[in-house]
Amino acid sequence: MRKSVLFIICTLLVSALHAQRARDTFSLYFDLGVSKLNNKAVKKIDLLIYNDRIITGSQLMIIGYTDYLGSEGYNKNLSIQRAQHVKDYLVKYGINAEDIKVCEGKGKINRTITGDKSGYPTDRKVDIVVNNKIKRNESDGKLVDNKKTKKPIIVKPGTPALDDIKKLKPGAIIKLENVYFPPDRHLIKPESINTLEKLYKVLKENPGLKISIEGHVCCISPEADDAWDIDTHEATLSINRAREIYNYLITKGIDRQRLLYTGFGKKHPIVTNEQTEEDAEKNRRVEVRIIANQ
């Protein structure tokens, strides 16, 4: 009898662990009285997608909240708007709208103490609940994650690889070779134009193609968010370089609705411990992520 009880308890614990692993919750925080995503929330979504924490095929629930400030009707409407803005951003990034099973607003989070006129910043949020679809291997009972590792596809000018971008699925990453910037600056060097012209040509010939342009830098401390840009006097070099390519494509006539850009600083190095200039060059890069390919 005792063994049976222990077996049941162990089974319940394992099931709870599996359920926890199969479902993650990520919180995005909003400014007071604002429904649109702020920069921190946008960057967090970008990182979640970049690190495959949110992938095409995952089932999502998007649930908005507010703090207790404001009327019940106002808070309900604000929480719905926050959830909808998160959904819109995810869909724009290439997440299938059909995978978003719930998008709703719950209104205020009830508090027993409401004397603080500034409210509770942590209650102004949207939770993204992700079902990662982890399943059990029927042969040995091992938990298997359905997510597939996405290896970067290297683009070399002069080869047909860039032309093959139209065959890639959302989530695929292309490293743009031969795109150069002066040290500590975001301006594009002339020798980069051939690669950018090929990218422009592919976008022009494939109107259903949407991309995210993503900058990375090298040679900064792990504690730093990004490198210093001497042109703008800001520590946003990876963002500025991605934006420069974004602007280049727009001036060529590509609809801005088909383009996103962001910068990750040194959060995703190819070489974690840079020892040589070759190591630095691998980390100093611009990548293109496919977000839609219709």
pTM: 0.53
pLDDT at 17: 42
Q: Which amino acid is at 160?
A: P
Q: In what order do the strands lie in the sheet with 153-155?
A: 153-155, 173-176, 285-293, 209-216, 259-263
3 state DSSP class of 12: helix
**Sheet of 59-66: strands edge to edge?**
23-29, 125-131, 59-66, 100-108
Decide if 284 contacts 217 (C-beta within 8 A): yes
Residue 15 has a pLDDT of 46
Q: Which amino acid is at 175?
A: K
Q: Which domains does the chain have, with CATH numbers?
A: 22-136 (3.30.1330.60), 153-293 (3.30.1330.60)
Task: Determine the pLDDT at residue 269.
Answer: 82
Q: Which residue has the higher pLDDT, 16 or 287?
A: 287
Question: pLDDT averaged over the chain?
Answer: 79
Residues 6+ apart with CB under 8 A from 93: 45, 46, 49, 212, 260, 291
Task: Return the residue matching tokens 């929330």.
Answer: 41
| pLDDT > 60? residue 67 | yes
Distance CA 230, CA 251 (A): 24
Band of the pLDDT at 154, cuts 50, 70, 90? very low
Contacts of 251 (CB under 8 A, 6+ apart): none
Question: Which residue in 74, 126, 78 sits closest to 102, CA to CA?
Answer: 126
Mean pLDDT computed over 135-143: 37
| Alpha-carbon distances of 204 from 76, 252, 287, rounded to whole Å | 42, 9, 19
% of the chain at pLDDT higher than 90: 32
What's the pLDDT tens digit per position in 211-255?
999 999 988 876 778 889 998 999 999 999 999 999 999 999 999
The span from the CA of 120 to the CA of 103, in Å, is 23
Identify the band that residue 114 occupies on the pLDDT scale cut at 50, 70 and 90.
low
Which one has a higher pLDDT value, 13 or 272? 272
Residue 238 to residue 199: CA distance in whole angstroms = 19
Whether 179 has a pLDDT exceeding 50, the answer reads yes
